[in-house]
Amino acid sequence: MDTPSDTHNLFFDSVSAYFDRAADLMSFPAGLLDQVKSCNSVYRMKFPVKDDDGNIVVIEAYRVQHSHHRLPCKGGIRFSPHVTQTETVALAALMTYKCALVGVPFGGAKGSVRFDPKTCSPEFRERVTRRYTAELIKKNFIGPQIDVPAPDYGTGEQEMSWIADTYRAMKFNEPDTYACVTGKPLALHGIPGRREATGLGVQLGIGECLAHEDDMTALGLTTGLPGKRVIVQGLGNVGSYSAHFLQKNGALIVGIAELGGGIYDPAGIDLRRAAHHFKENGSFAGCGIGAFFENPRDVLEQPCDILVPAALENQITAENASRIQAKIIAEAANGPVDHEAEEILRDRGILVIPDLYLNAGGVTVSYFEWLRNLSHVGFDRMSTRLSELTKTHLIEAVEHLTGRTLDPAERASVTAGPREVDFVHTALAETMAVAYHSIHDAWKTKDLPDLRTAAYYVAIDRVCRSYQAHGIFP
């Protein structure tokens, strides 16, 4: 059985292989491509934290800044007993390319802390988070203009609150302290729409892919999401919101895989019922929905149109790639398909929508939160009332011309101004649409082998041009 280190080495090798495959097709100087690929900074630290019994526990942690071509750096913080430096470097590299691909002006970064947040008390988790933040501050590895973390596997709004509070306490003279981290709760200057951003971005990205008739015809599919059979792996933040938005837009969820097993029903799954059972019992065993599989990876091999791996890396490898029955694999997680498996999938005619693009919704909305914190004003405050007044005047003019008067409910519906979450969701939809078109255009016009190569091609091109614009390379 592979160890976490073996798995992370494979993940790093996959990211490197994907980069090399795209870079070999480009005409930039070798030195420039080497710089884009290289990791700029790695901060490895160990620090003591008291456990609940008063004993000292030494915690190992990392913060990796892969690229300084744009500042601040941006990337989530992962809490897990299995994190390694190699995994963190690979994830930071992905963030560099991801930000470039969707036009977010950040360099890539990633953080990780080696402990299990599920088996410790909230008090211990808080002490670890605050001490980790203090270590980052000491080495200038966090700040609104330096490096801005966000949630990742094992972390969420609570941890981001502790980070923001610790930073604010130690940097009390700075005016933009809340912009040091994103993914915060609304009560602490977060932004509406951040919580569901990655999952919504997954649905939007899949929708963009499904809109191309020629590509769908080649796969034996119709365009559009309605009626598509979907299997989702993972019911964390990304997986649960992905499943929710896919189902809301007409997809049929036929399988769900999680730790401890999974379920499959070709007639469709009641998502709320399944999620409630899993939350209450920690397993799908005994839920009475479809067929139960003790090995969650067996669910990934069941018939479907779209497979959405939304858990961890290296879930589809050379060992199981030949048994995947999906026509599209939509990478909601980072690195769920390794480079050996992708060769097999491509040969079998399975289309992979790459993580580099598909899960960029989180960092996109994090960018909006960062801008909001720097400007100290919500996106709706300056425009919502004006929009309502403009619509009201227009409706009054139409009523005067037609002689028809809207009832109060109709008027309220038609004249309502956009809320901040509306700005966030529409801007995210525009970002995902523009990014997919750039990938698809590169795929077709440059005769690239697949969407992933096209995504790396576009991202590397943009980072290289940024370095050239600085005058560092010819």
> For 195-251, what is each residue's pLDDT tens digit?
899 999 999 999 999 999 999 999 999 999 999 999 999 988 899 999 999 999 999
Contact 439, 351 (CB under 8 A): no
Question: How many other CB atoms are there within 10 angstroms of residue 176's CB atom?
Answer: 15
Q: Give the CATH fold of the 20-188 domain.
A: Rossmann fold (3.40.50)
Among 37, 74, 98, 110, the active-site one is: 110
Model pLDDT for residues 266-313, shown as the tens digit of each residue? 999 989 998 888 888 888 888 888 888 889 899 999 999 999 999 877
Tens-place pLDDT, residues 8-19: 687 888 889 999
Domain spans of the chain, in order of start: 20-188, 197-358, 380-416
Chain Cα centroid distance, residue 320: 24
110 catalytic per annotation: yes
Mean pLDDT of 49-63: 95
What is the model's pLDDT at position 9?
80
Q: How do strand 306-309 and strand 351-353 relate by DSSP bridges?
A: unpaired
442-470, pLDDT tens digit by residue? 999 999 999 999 999 999 999 999 998 88
**pLDDT, tens digit, for every residue of 238-256?**
999 999 999 999 999 999 9
Of residues 425 and 470, more confidence is placed in 425
The pTM is what?
Answer: 0.89
Residue 378: what pLDDT?
80
Tens of pLDDT, residue by residue over 99-124, are 999 999 999 999 999 999 999 999 99
20-188 with 197-358: one CATH topology? yes
Q: Can you tell me which residue has the tokens 């005619």? A: 349
Angle, helix 361-375 to helix 420-445, in steps of 10 degrees:
130
More confident site: 380 or 455 = 455
Q: Can you state the angle between helices 4-23 and 339-347, rounded to 10 degrees? A: 60
CATH 3.40.50.720, applies to 197-358:
yes
| 415 pLDDT more than 50 | yes
Residue 143 per-residue DSSP state = B
For residue range 156-184, list pLDDT tens digits in order: 999 999 999 999 999 988 889 999 999 99
User: Could you give the CA distance from residue 240 to residue 258 in angstroms, rounded to a whole number?
Assistant: 11
Model confidence at 1: pLDDT above 60: no
